[in-house]
């Protein structure tokens, strides 16, 4: 049955739900509908991530990520406290694997200070006290405000708040077309709506293109694989990360602790051949593979990133043993025999600017005709979601 609404949000991931929530908080008498093609919430990135509440020190100080991650961390903590969602205060250490990584570690420390994030440069003895299993070369960074929660629990709690504020979340409803003032879904046909918010994750570029927005962008999906350890809960106490390669938007393979204390290795950033490429042939689309294949030459020839290095280092990570051995440089006691339980993989909705051959490093928010488009809601957009939503909603003019 066709419906009408003042605001229609395409995508019921953490970003779409946070946007609906923020809109309703400001406009309580407004009618808001959230449309998601899946029958259940948290089926894509918002339920398939590490659940790390990032602190916000990685990002260039003038970026949206820098501004919205520190705020998002605070807001998500407050939200979890309000709704009874457990947060585990793990903190995080960033370690170096050789002396050559020390300048990059210093740069992260500087960025943290510029972004207003609490950080400490520590030595090997201090590291041993904080996380006895981790190793570093001389110094490491300690981030006390990094934490972890269950990503799906946050999504469910947010959906509850949206419903309590009067929002209508329609699952099993795929948007198959949209334009200024209308959406067409596979269940309802063509519906009249006021403003459309595009929070379609891996399909955000497709939806934006319907409005003639973000034509320079194509989605380049990267798969994140995880392996859980058989260690007793609590053996690893802190998240342990390497110094990332600043030329790429990914943080490198790391060890995280889940909210229930389990150790987990991953995620990878392996190029995917279609968008919802979680394993097997589920979600396979020849059209998407063709589009991605056509997009790759612009990425492969990029001078902005170390593409050959990325492919050379990421593809072998399909091998569990290889992946686990890579993380021995962070935590030497890790053994392939201990990390054999596969985690739920996720796919990063990473945008490529095809004109510049450049992976977009920051969140991208674009206005369109009677619409707003949240593009490139990549990590740490789960952490930043409530701050991103405030930022976006403040700028919507209807």
Instruction: List residues near ligand FAD by CB under 6 A.
Output: 10-16, 35-38, 43-46, 48-52, 54, 174-175, 199-203, 224, 267, 346-348, 377-383
Q: Which is nearer to ligand FAD, 91 or 201 (CB)?
A: 201
In the complex, minimum distance from the CB of residue 121 to ligand FAD, in angstroms, rounded to a whole number: 23
* Angle value at C-alpha 174, between 169 and 177, nearest 5 degrees: 115
Token couple for 19: 């946007």
CA distances from 289 to 53, 186, 209, 312, 377 (A): 32, 23, 18, 21, 21
**Which residue is it, tokens 């409530």?**
386
CB-CB contact of 126 with 142 (8 Å):
yes
| Whole-angstrom distance, CA of residue 67 vs CA of residue 343 | 31
Least CB distance to ligand FAD at residue 127 (A): 22
Determine the Cα–Cα distance for residues 381 and 358; give it in Å rounded to an integer. 20
Residue 13 or 242 with smaller CB distance to ligand FAD: 13
Closest approach of ligand FAD to the CB of residue 185, in Å: 7
Tell me the closest approach of the beta carbon of residue 268 to ligand FAD, in angstroms. 8
Nearest to ligand FAD of 46, 96 (CB atom): 46
C-beta closer to ligand FAD: residue 139 or 361: 361
30: left (phi over 0), alpha (psi -120 to 50) or beta: beta
CB of 24 to ligand FAD, least distance (A): 17
Residues near 336 by beta carbon (within 8 Å), at least 6 away in sequence: 320, 321, 324, 325
Taking CB atoms, the residue at the shortest distance from ligand FAD is 13
In whole angstroms, the minimum distance from the beta carbon of 139 to ligand FAD comes to 24
Give the C-alpha separation, 318 to 257, whole Å. Answer: 21
Count Cβ atoms below 10 Å from residue 327 Cβ, excluding itself. 21
Q: Going by DSSP bridges, is the β-strand pair 4-10/32-35 parallel, antiparallel, or unpaired?
A: parallel
* Cα radius of gyration (the chain): 21
Cα 130 from Cα 92, distance rounded (Å):
9
Indicate the residue among 17 and 127 with the shorter CB distance to ligand FAD.
17
Q: Which is nearer to ligand FAD, 131 or 277 (CB)?
A: 277
User: Least CB distance from residue 224 to ligand FAD, whole Å?
Assistant: 3
Cα within 13 Å of Cα(268), Cβ side: 28
Q: Write down the least CB distance from residue 33 to ligand FAD, Å.
A: 11
Largest Cα separation within the chain, whole Å, is: 65
By C-beta, is 37 or 139 nearer to ligand FAD?
37
Q: Least distance to ligand FAD from the beta carbon of 98, Å?
A: 26
What is the phi-psi region of residue 310: left when phi exceeds 0, alpha when psi lies from -120 to 50, beta otherwise? alpha
In terms of CB distance, is 43 or 131 closer to ligand FAD?
A: 43
Our CB check for ligand FAD shows the closer of 44 and 195 to be 44
């Amino acid at each position: 049955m066709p419906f009408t609404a003042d605001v229609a949000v395409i995508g019921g991931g953490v970003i779409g739900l946070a946007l609906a929530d923020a809109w309703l908080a400001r406009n309580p008498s407004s009618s808001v509908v959230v449309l998601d093609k899946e029958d259940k919430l948290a089926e894509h990135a918002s339920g398939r991530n590490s659940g790390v509440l990032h602190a916000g020190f990685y990002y260039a100080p003038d970026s949206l990520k820098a501004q919205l991650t520190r705020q998002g961390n605070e807001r998500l903590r407050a939200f979890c406290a309000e709704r009874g969602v457990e947060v585990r205060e793990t903190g995080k250490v960033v370690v170096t694997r050789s002396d050559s990584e020390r300048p990059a570690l210093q740069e992260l420390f500087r960025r943290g200070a510029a972004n207003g994030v609490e950080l400490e440069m520590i030595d090997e003895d201090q590291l041993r006290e904080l996380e006895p299993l981790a190793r570093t070369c001389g110094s490491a960074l300690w981030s006390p405000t990094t934490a972890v929660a269950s990503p799906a629990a946050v999504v469910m709690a947010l959906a509850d708040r949206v419903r309590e504020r009067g929002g209508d979340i329609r699952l099993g409803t795929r948007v198959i077309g949209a334009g200024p003032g209308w959406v067409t879904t596979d269940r309802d046909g063509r519906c009249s709506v006021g403003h459309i918010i595009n929070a379609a994750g891996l399909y955000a570029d497709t939806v934006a293109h319907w409005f003639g927005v973000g034509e320079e962008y194509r989605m380049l999906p990267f798969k994140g694989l995880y392996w859980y350890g058989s260690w007793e809960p609590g053996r690893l106490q802190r998240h342990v990360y390497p110094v990332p390669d600043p030329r790429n938007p990914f943080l490198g393979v790391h060890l995280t602790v889940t909210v229930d204390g389990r150790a987990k290795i991953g995620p990878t950033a392996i190029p995917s051949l279609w968008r919802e490429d979680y394993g097997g042939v589920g979600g396979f689309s020849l059209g998407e593979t063709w589009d991605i294949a056509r997009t790759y030459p612009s990425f492969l020839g990029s001078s902005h990133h170390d593409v050959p290095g990325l492919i050379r280092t990421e593809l072998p990570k399909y091998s569990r043993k290889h992946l686990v051995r890579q993380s021995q440089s962070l935590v030497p006691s890790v053994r392939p025999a201990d990390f054999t339980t596969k985690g739920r993989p996720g796919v990063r909705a990473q945008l490529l600017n095809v004109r510049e051959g450049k992976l977009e490093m920051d969140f991208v928010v674009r206005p369109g005709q009677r619409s707003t488009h949240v593009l490139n809601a990549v990590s740490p957009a789960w952490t930043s979601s409530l701050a991103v939503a405030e930022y976006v909603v403040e700028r919507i003019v209807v």
